[in-house]
């Protein structure tokens, strides 16, 4: 008779016991702010109370000029502001024109010198090669 065929089979170890993990419910700190109390815009002191500020505000220094051709009024700032703005504009234009003229002069003066130096360097390089 035929003997039974014995085949090898894998022997697996038993699974380790892993304890069950429990997670706590997540919590969060909710940001908050302290409410800011803002008085109403039409707040006035009670009658008979003197205030530190005057009711009539000082003029802001803005004048208005009426242009008759187009019938429009255009606000003009104070003289100090006009003087500062015009002085700044004049100085910046003068600085720009001066820098442009100086740069042109430097380019005109250095161009022949740099050309000569470049020719000499390129001739030396040709002789070495």
pLDDT in tens, 79-91: 888 899 999 999 9
Q: What is the pTM of this model?
A: 0.40
pLDDT in tens, 18-73: 999 999 998 998 888 888 888 888 878 788 887 776 555 555 667 888 888 888 99
Domain limits, the chain: 79-128
76: CB partners within 8 A, 6+ apart:
62, 63, 64, 65, 82
* Other C-beta atoms lying within 10 Å of the C-beta of residue 85: 11
Name the more confident of 35 and 129. Answer: 35
């Amino acid at each position: 008779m035929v003997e039974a065929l014995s085949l090898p089979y894998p022997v697996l170890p038993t699974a380790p016991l892993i304890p069950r993990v429990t997670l706590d419910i997540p919590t969060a700190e909710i940001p908050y702010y302290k409410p800011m109390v803002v008085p109403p815009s039409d707040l006035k002191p009670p009658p008979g109370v003197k205030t530190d500020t005057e009711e009539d505000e000082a003029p802001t220094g803005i004048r208005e000029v009426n242009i008759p051709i187009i019938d429009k009024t255009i606000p003009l700032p104070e003289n100090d502001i006009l003087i500062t703005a015009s002085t700044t504009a004049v100085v910046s234009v003068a600085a720009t024109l001066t820098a442009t003229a100086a740069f042109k002069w430097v380019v005109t003066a250095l161009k022949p010198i740099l050309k000569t130096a470049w020719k000499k360097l390129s001739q030396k390089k040709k002789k070495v090669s």
